[in-house]
Every structure is written in C-alpha cells, then in structure tokens.
Structure 1
C-alpha cells in the first residue's frame, strides 16, 4: 500500500458518506481514480459498470439526485482490510415520480490504490428500491 495506510483509506471512504450531499459529492469526485470502475448491482435501477468519474457521476449520482427526494446512503459499519474498505448501511428516499418511500440495505466494497478509489462493487436489496419506483 505504499505510504497510504488503512486508516487513511477508511477516512477517504468515510468522507464520501458523512458530510452534506455537496461535501460527499466533492470528496467522491476527488477520490475517484481517472479510470475507476464502478459497478451497480444487477437488479438495481442504475445497474451496470461505469468507468471514470464523469460516467459514474452522470449515470449514478446525477440520476439519484434528480429522480429521488432526500436520497441517502447511511452507513452503520465500515470494515478496512488492506487496500479494501467495505461500507454497510441503508439507502432511503422518496421516488419523485411515485411519491413512494423506501429503505434498502446495502454493502459497498471499495478497492483503493495510491489514495484513490479504483473499484467499487455494490450489493443491495434492490427489490425494496424497485417497489418504490412502481
């Protein structure tokens, strides 16, 4: 891991969840490697693999910000192991089109290199999210 230690990697990931939406978004943009690979789970409304900050922000975060009211990813547990950090928590929000709310459990597994996120894999109870959209 070079000069970057596990505590720093944990701090990088924690910083993308624990501020305001604007702060979290800025920290995430700053933390993404130029060739970061971001995979949203099969069955999730934004399922797919996106490469690079622009594709990740446009295909995931812009949609979450515009299609949902008060969409949140609230983490209750972080686990750091070498170059990997996992975040476990609950998504919540109201789908703008239907007015239905949801809560869904998630896990995000990140891999970092040289202080940058190079990979993220999402695991989620997508049925709960889809139910709010129907």
Structure 2
C-alpha cells in the first residue's frame, strides 16, 4: 500500500519537472506513469468549454495523453508554482499559481490553481483541476 508521503513525494517530483521543463515531453511522461491503467477519471473545471475542448472529461490514459498534447498545442506555460501539497488518506491537494499564454491569441491566463488527486496503489485514479475558467476561456478569443 502506498502512503500519503509517497503520493506527495511523487506529485512534488511531477510538479518540479512540470514547472522547470515548461511541460515538455519528459515531464508529461512522468505524469503519464502516475496515471492508472484501469480506473481513471480526469476532469477540469472548464469541462470542454469552447476554446478549451481539451478539458473534457477523460476516462483513459489515452484521454489524459490527448489532454496534455492539446494543452501544449494551444497554450505555452509561462510559470507554474506549487505553494503546498496537502494529503489525507488517498487524496492529495495541490495549491498553487500558474501563468499560461494562449498560442493563438497571445493572451495570458494568470490564475490561482488547485488540483485534487485521488490515488489507489500509488496511481492517480481521479484528478480535478480548479482555476479561473472565465479568464481561460476569454484568453482563447
């Protein structure tokens, strides 16, 4: 059984790679290795809204890979900061802040960020991200 501490350690490593590499393929590969093969729910507050179609609900590793691919296609990471990781049982919450630039419009998304994870046997089985969706959607037009 994986402990809270191991889940936090794995996420801390993932976010460190994510922020320093600006979301490159190696950091995405690290995240994909944390995702469950057989049970998964991957969600975003934008929920597939116009201009943010990549945020539709995912239920497979393939869906998560598509999420990362389309995110990188549409957005350029400017900065990503983790303020804290809070764990209780099989859940870990990341509280942070990020800035993204829309590749088509050049507009910035500068927003607080919260990610909620649920783990089973060391793998992510549930993910939900919270951020300023109004500003994100506005940045796409």
Q: Provide the TM-score with structure 2 as the length reference.
A: 0.83
- Is it true that 1:90 corresponds to 2:90 in the alignment? no
Alignment partner, residue 39 of structure 1: 43
- Is it true that 1:52 corresponds to 2:50 in the alignment? no
Normalized per residue, the structure richer in strand is: 1
Q: RMSD of aligned C-alpha atoms? A: 1.7
Alignment partner, residue 6 of structure 1: 4
Alignment partner, residue 29 of structure 1: 32
Q: How far off is 1:72 after superposition?
A: 4.8
What is the count of residue pairs matched by the alignment? 131
Runs of 4+ in 1 over 2 A off after TM superposition: 20-24, 69-74
Q: How far off is 1:114 after superposition?
A: 0.6
What runs of 5+ residues in structure 1 fail to find an aligned partner?
none
8 Å contact 1:95–1:133 — kept in the other structure?
A: yes
More displaced, 15-24 or 124-133?
Answer: 15-24
For 1:28 and 1:12, how far apart are their aligned partners in 2?
A: 9
Normalized per residue, the structure richer in helix is: 2
